[in-house]
Every structure is written in C-alpha cells, then in structure tokens.
C-alpha cells in the first residue's frame, strides 16, 4: 500500500476497499449538522471501506469521493475509527 502526505507533516496509509472499519467512539465527534457529521453517521462497525464510500455517494455533497477518503484518514489519525486490513482477518 502507498502512503499519502498530510498537511500535518505525517503520513497515513491509504486504505484498501476491502479493509474493515472499526468504530472507536460511541458518539459522533463531528460538529452537529455539518457535512462531516453526516458522513460520520454512515460508518457501521465492521463495514468495508468500499461500503462506506458507496454509502457516501448517496449524499448530495460536492466532491464527496475525495472528502470521504479524507475523512477516513482524519478519523483514523484522531482515534475515531480503526481500519483493519483485509488480509489480517
């Protein structure tokens, strides 16, 4: 897998579509009513990255494909979710 630079100077793993999302928080940590909050609400414990991205496509938001991928990286970095590689199952 490749790595992507971030504005924080760190590097985050770009996740594969078959990787599994594990929720690490019980409440939505995003600002209520924000677009990010709407995307976060689509996470389901145990869903694949691909399923999350497809769910986000249903939202009427500009540039949702890029934003949802960015959300994955941000949410992992801040401990809101964990991504389990598909080959680790």
pLDDT, tens digit, 9 for 90 and up, residues 48-65: 999 999 999 999 889 999
Express each pLDDT in 22-44 by its tens digit. Answer: 999 999 999 999 999 999 999 99
Q: What is the pLDDT of residue 49?
A: 95
The pLDDT, as a whole number, for residue 36 is 95
Residue, of 17 and 46, whose pLDDT is higher? 46
Percent of the chain residues topping a pLDDT of 90: 73
Let me know if 8 is exposed, middle or buried by CB neighbors in 10 A (0-12, 13-18, 19+): exposed
What does the H/E/C string look like for 25-89? CCCCCCCCCCHHHHHHCCCCCCCEHHHHHHHHHCCCCCCHHHHHHHHHHHHHHCCCEEEECHHHC
pLDDT at 10 over 70: no
Model pTM? 0.81
Backbone phi, then psi, for 57, in 5-degree steps? -60, -25
Strands 3-5 and 20-23, sheet pairing: unpaired
């Amino acid at each position: 897998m490749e790595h992507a630079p971030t504005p924080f100077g760190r590097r985050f793993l770009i996740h594969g579509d078959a990787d599994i999302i594990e929720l690490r928080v019980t409440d939505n940590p995003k600002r209520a009513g924000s677009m990010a909050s709407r995307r976060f609400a689509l996470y389901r414990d145990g869903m694949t990255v691909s399923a999350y991205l497809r769910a986000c496509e249903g939202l009427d938001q500009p540039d949702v494909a890029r934003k949802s991928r960015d959300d994955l990286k941000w949410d992992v970095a801040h401990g809101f979710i964990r991504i389990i590689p598909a080959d680790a199952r």
